[in-house]
Structure 1
Amino acid sequence: MDMQTLIDLLQWPAMLTTLIAAWLVGSQTRRKRNWGFCVFILSNVLWVIWGWHAEAYALIALQLGLFMLNLRGHRKNEAHARTG
């Protein structure tokens, strides 16, 4: 299998990673939410790689914005754990 095909197939693990992250972020436990934000960041990276390959620049911009929101969510979740 060549690199082109592997990157074409990357959209499927990216999609699955995004769904897992959303499930984890919806958890009531801080630890699972933290993992969810980290998994979301992994999904952002996977989508950017696939988007670059597919020349889907709006998707890349979206993922960069979501990356920033995921960092914010991770930080707020950590800060809440320290104060709560």
Structure 2
Amino acid sequence: MDINAFIDSLQWPAMLATLVAAYLVGSQSRRKRNWGFLCFILSNALWIAWGWHAQAYALIILQFGLFLMNLRGTRKNAPAADAS
């Protein structure tokens, strides 16, 4: 498999990671939500790699924005330090 075929195939694991992440983020469990945000970050990276190869620059910008929102989600999902 050449590199172009490999990068073309990244859209499938990216889609799967996005679906798994969406499912996990909807959980009431903080731990599952955290895994969901991490899966979203993985999917952002995969979509950026695929988008760069496909010259889908709007998708790349979207994924950077979503990446920042997922970082915010992981921070807000963390337990409060001063929960006294």
Residue 72 of structure 1: CA displacement? 0.3
Deviation at 1:58, TM superposition (A): 0.1
SS state at 2:27 partner: coil
Q: Aligned residue for 1:33? A: 33
How far apart in 1 are the matches of 2:35 and 2:77?
11
After TM superposition, give the deviation of residue 23 of structure 1 in Å.
0.4
Paired residues for 1:21-60 under 5 Å? 21-60=21-60
Structure 1: 4+ residue segments shifted above 6 A: none
Structure 2, unaligned stretches of length 5 or more?
A: none
TM-score if structure 2 supplies the norm length? 0.94
Give the CA deviation at 1:22. 0.4
What is the aligned partner in structure 1 of residue 4 from structure 2? 4
Structure that is richer in helix per residue: 1
Residue 29 of structure 1 deviates from its aligned partner by 0.3
Identity of aligned residues (%): 70
The number of aligned residues is 82
Question: Are 1:61 and 2:54 counterparts?
Answer: no
CA distance in 1, matches of 2:59, 2:37: 19
How far apart, CA to CA, are the structure 2 residues paired with 1:32 and 1:67? 18
Write the distance in 1 (CA, Å) between the matches of 2:24 and 2:47: 19
Deviation, 1:39, is 0.7
- Partner amino acid for 2:71? L
C-alpha separation in 1, matches of 2:10 and 2:68? 22
Q: Distance in 1 between matches of 2:20 and 2:7?
A: 20
